[in-house]
Structure 1
Amino acid sequence: MSKLFDTISVGRYTLQNRLAMAPMTRSRAQPDGTPGELTAEYYSQRAGVGLIVTEGTQPSEDGQGYLFTPGIHTDAHVAGWKKVTDAVHAKGARIFFQLMHAGRMSHPDNTPHHRQGVAPSAIAPGAGMFTMTGMQDIPVPRALSTDEVRQTVADFRLAARRAIDAGADGVELHGANAYLIQQFFAPSANTRTDAYGGSIANRARFAIEAVRAVAEEIGADRTAIRLSPGITLWGIDEGTDGPDLYRYLVAELDKLDLAYLHVMHQGDEALLADIRKLWRGTLVLNRPGRSREQVGSDVASGLAEVESYGQMALANPDFVERLKAGAPMNEADRASYFGGGAQGYTDYPALAASVVQAA
């Protein structure tokens, strides 16, 4: 495990260790999408890791899916996030904003403009969405025109620039978990007949164009993407050629010299091995449900350069110190994951100073 605590170069930065905080939606932003008062404290508490990837942050009004999620497309958003980045940098960590366009995983009641969600095709996900009036079925989205797809690429570019203005060290595009970018990958969500649908190359086109636009705007060494090959959330079915789509996509992304590739691993070991071969840069690997005993194994084996953690980083603001000390971990409180205030957000206890010193 000791290799986890070594520094590593990622993009244009040197991380203080090889641990990352995975992106986790917390739904604690103000109604206009500006980070709330506790957000700077929340992230700075967890800045013992080398890299923080923020919760999904919408690049436009159309990109919002859930209640009280943050944005990075207005001046107020930039000002709010600047407090967060300053607090994280004061602790020595790096912070990448995750740019998340929810696509069809949205409800009009949750967005500033109250419009129908947008997606590759007019196909509903067959899922519910929590709104201020309770759970509602997600309605059929509106299919983006070809010009609107290109405008959405431009939205990602502008959001990336605003993230840098807010002090972010870089951005990670959310290409996972059944949101817009992954919706383009899946034939169950994408039945387009233009340049963004049909073949593997066409279904991967939107992701590649969005990543390339962001890299052109802020630098490839400050640009990353997260993928979740094989995930089947909310009506996503990538089809029998899904693994080949990811082989093609990763090979194309590898040409861009990005800061890192963040993979949420779903169990296809052969595909993961192929991704590792195709991706010559930094691989950040997230294995949901990874046990305490498995921490560090992927870095030790050389499969990944960085390991990312969600629940353990959420529930343990001193995650790195606990690992070094061999100390027990707090358990995450699922009831407080989304919405609310300090409970389950900034009130998780840290180790007593005496325990850390004894280690």
Structure 2
Amino acid sequence: MVSYRFLNPYTFQSGVTVSNRVVVPPMTESMSFSDGAVTTDELHYFRIHSRGVGMYITPVANVNALGKGFEGELSVADDHCIPDLARVAQQIHANGTKAVLQIFSAGRMTNSAILRGQQPVSASAVAALRPDAETPRALTDAEVRATIADFGAATRRAIKAGFDGVELHGANTYLLQQFFSPHSNRRTDDWGGTLEKRMAFPLAVIAAAQAAIHEDAQNPFLLGYRFSPEEIEKPGIRIEDTLQLLAKLDTLNLDYLHMSMGNAWRTSLNNHNDPEPLLNKVLVVTHQTPLISVGGIETPEQADKVMAAGATFVALGRENLREPNWVQKVSNHTETTIRYKLAVTDLEELGIPESFFRYLANMERHGANIGFEPSLAKASEDEALNVIFN
């Protein structure tokens, strides 16, 4: 009988203990109200999909009004958000799972329509290399410092709402990454220029979150940091830059680092002559900080392989979407019943409402590989919705 590493409990340096090493990573579902308040559909979804795993990281919540990146996004920008966020934490805790709130500012990865007429902001006035991207305005020094304070205030609200931790979203081209990137950060002040100065903003945000935890948390509270290892922009972040950042983060007593990739074994996007997986390179420089690995992990064997390479945790994103009882089925030795495809007949059971299904269908069309079962993949959105919700 196989004994999987990911079923073992773990205690973080902060003192938080999780029942196993399986994590649900933050996945956008766009179910919140326009003001960032949580919906009943969203709470139902959290309750279903946090079953069995050791830790559930919520979809991202913005720390201030200019940080909103898309419609249907959670918010932690104001004290009025605390009661709703408390309901989120309660749903996750009902399954014996630790609840972590991911927090961010979208920076330039938004638009003036989403910001209700406001111009997006970033490290510098450089538009993202994507269709219809708006040119942001550069944050002033005072605004940079105010944004750092907003991350600290968001951490305090997460504590008050009953979460077990926060994850700082420094990945996927959002504001923390924008300050680290030589593409989006062309500043010449204390917040840009050299590699070390481009690290200054994320390091200051970490310090603000740590100060909030030290001052406000009465119980052990997690602090994690998510990062993307590379960019394809020129100039852009290269793996050598990220390894220097991670070496610094490894000294800061973070509870974990979370590597954001679509394939856990991906090699460099920029150096096609290097066959070494980026995961291996990252593990070399993160000696003290646990690492969460994610990307295309579906089967127990695939999860165990990632842990055997040195990752402390394995994250199931799309697979959790399809099979929220994954851990239970592995634990009960009923692995043959694990679902690896999303079927029309499963959507109601999985707590996937019409709005989220339309979002997933759009993602599938753009190559996200959600894993639709063939009959669902062939049906139009309206045809599928008629079967499910009528």
Q: TM-score, normalised by structure 2?
A: 0.78
For these two proteins, the number of residue pairs brought into alignment is 329
Describe the SS at the equivalent of 2:101. strand
CA distance in 2, matches of 1:199, 1:9: 37
Return the match for 1:313 from 306, 320, 325: 320
1:41 to 2:44 alignment: yes
- Would the aligned equivalents of 1:260 and 1:282 in 2 still touch at CA under 8 Å? yes
- Would the aligned equivalents of 2:164 and 2:221 in 1 still touch at CA under 8 Å? no
Return the match for 1:188 from 183, 188, 193: 183
Alignment of 1:140-289 (within 5 A): 140-219=135-214, 222-232=222-232, 237-239=235-237, 242-265=238-261, 266-268=266-268, 269=276, 271-279=278-286, 280-286=288-294, 288-289=295-296
Q: Who is 1:304 aligned against?
A: 311
CA distance in 2, matches of 1:36, 1:313: 20
Distance 1:27 1:270, change over 3 A: closer
CA distance in 1, matches of 2:167, 2:188: 28
User: Could you tell me the percent identity over the aligned residues?
Assistant: 31
CA distance in 1, matches of 2:311, 2:206: 21
Shift, 1:81, TM fit = 1.3
Shift, 1:274, TM fit = 4.0
Q: Who is 2:4 aligned against?
A: 2
Distance 1:162 1:148, change over 3 A: same
Shift, 1:271, TM fit = 4.9
Unaligned runs of 5+ in 1: 129-136, 346-359
Q: Who is 1:134 aligned against?
A: none
- Would the aligned equivalents of 1:4 and 1:299 in 2 still touch at CA under 8 Å? yes
Shift, 1:343, TM fit = 5.2
1:3 partner amino acid: R
Q: Who is 1:32 aligned against?
A: 35
CA distance in 2, matches of 1:114, 1:94: 37
CA distance in 1, matches of 2:306, 2:22: 11
CA distance in 1, matches of 2:101, 2:195: 28
Q: Who is 1:17 aligned against?
A: 20
Return the match for 1:53 from 57, 81, 103: 57
CA distance in 1, matches of 2:327, 2:239: 34
Shift, 1:159, TM fit = 0.6
- Would the aligned equivalents of 2:125 and 2:138 in 1 still touch at CA under 8 Å? yes
Distance 1:297 1:62, change over 3 A: same
1:127 partner amino acid: R
Q: Who is 2:367 aligned against?
A: none
Describe the SS at the equivalent of 2:82. helix
CA distance in 2, matches of 1:180, 1:342: 25
Q: TM-score, normalised by structure 1?
A: 0.85
- Would the aligned equivalents of 1:23 and 1:53 in 2 still touch at CA under 8 Å? yes
Shift, 1:273, TM fit = 3.1
CA distance in 1, matches of 2:235, 2:304: 31
Larger RCO, structure (CA 8 Å, separation 6 or more): 1
Shift, 1:67, TM fit = 0.9
The runs of at least 4 consecutive aligned structure 1 residues that moved more than 4 Å come to 336-345
CA distance in 2, matches of 1:309, 1:154: 32
Return the match for 2:66 from 30, 41, 62: 62
CA distance in 2, matches of 1:333, 1:122: 44
1:247 partner amino acid: L
- Would the aligned equivalents of 1:27 and 1:339 in 2 still touch at CA under 8 Å? no
Describe the SS at the equivalent of 1:296. helix
